[in-house]
Amino acid sequence: MIKILLTLTLLLATFATGPAKAKDDGNELDALRTRLSTEWLLVKNDRMRKIRTYARLEDGKRYRSFKVEAVLETRMEPLARVLLDFENYPKWFWKTHEARLLRKDSATEYFVYMTHDAPYGLPDRDTVLKATVEPQGKGRPYVLLKTTAVPDMIPAKPPLVRVVAEEMTIRFWPLPNNQVQMQVEGYFDPGGVVPPWAANLVQRTAPYAVMLAMQRIANEAEYRLSRDPLPFPVYNTENLP
């Protein structure tokens, strides 16, 4: 909130100086644009649930990038199982109708197809993602999951509109007392024509909603009590390498 107020103050000061300082105003506007493109602005801070979401507008991108930081009440194993259980993403991931594994190239590389419900009046979207996992290791306590859109991997499926960019970097690592720290950064371009109100709705709502849903699903017995082996080792604080 403080950052937003400072931004508004600077904008008001810029436009209140009048034409005599046009050159200086231009410099101030340039500086403001630079700051907005490099700093994360807080969107939501849920202290009770320990979730913070951020956004920033970067040069060369149609929409804002996003970041989410959260502390989840779970352990590493159930969270990893949730993230790798692609077929069940419709149970919790934002506005997802369908999710299925297209191809598994190795224990750490997957190709996934998903369809998403778009805001009212817009055609639904589909996406093809490549997901790559870097497991924990000596000196690296976190699991790193990267996803990137590969829109041309399979033919388009009208009337669905193919998502042209969906880049995410997900890090999660163990904390004491059966908690997990998670940090997600990403960018999403749904393709086609999207009005500003729809883009803003998704930007404000989706990152927070996904993190809330992830907390819920990771504590379901299906994942919390499972003893099925994971495709790569996962460690908690008591057994980190």
Ranges of each domain in the chain:
1-39, 42-239
For residue 81, give the nearest of 71, 89, 90, 73 by alpha carbon. 89
The structure's pTM equals: 0.82
- Each of the 241 residues of the chain gets a pLDDT tens digit; together they read 434 333 433 333 333 333 344 445 556 655 555 555 578 999 999 999 999 999 998 877 888 899 999 999 999 999 999 999 999 999 999 999 999 999 999 999 999 999 999 988 999 999 999 999 999 999 999 999 999 999 999 999 999 999 999 999 999 999 999 999 999 999 989 999 888 788 878 878 999 999 999 999 999 999 999 999 999 999 999 999 9
Is-contact 14 32, C-beta < 8 A? yes
Q: What is the 3-state secondary structure (H, E, C) of 74-117?
A: CCHHHHHHHHHCHHHHHHCCCCEEEEEEEEEEECCEEEEEEEEC
Q: Which residues pair with 165 in a beta bridge?
A: 189
**Which H or E element spans position 199?**
helix 196-218
CATH topology of domain 42-239: Alpha-D-Glucose-1,6-Bisphosphate; Chain A, domain 4 (3.30.530)
Q: Is the dihedral of CA 189, 153, 90, 183 positive or negative?
A: negative
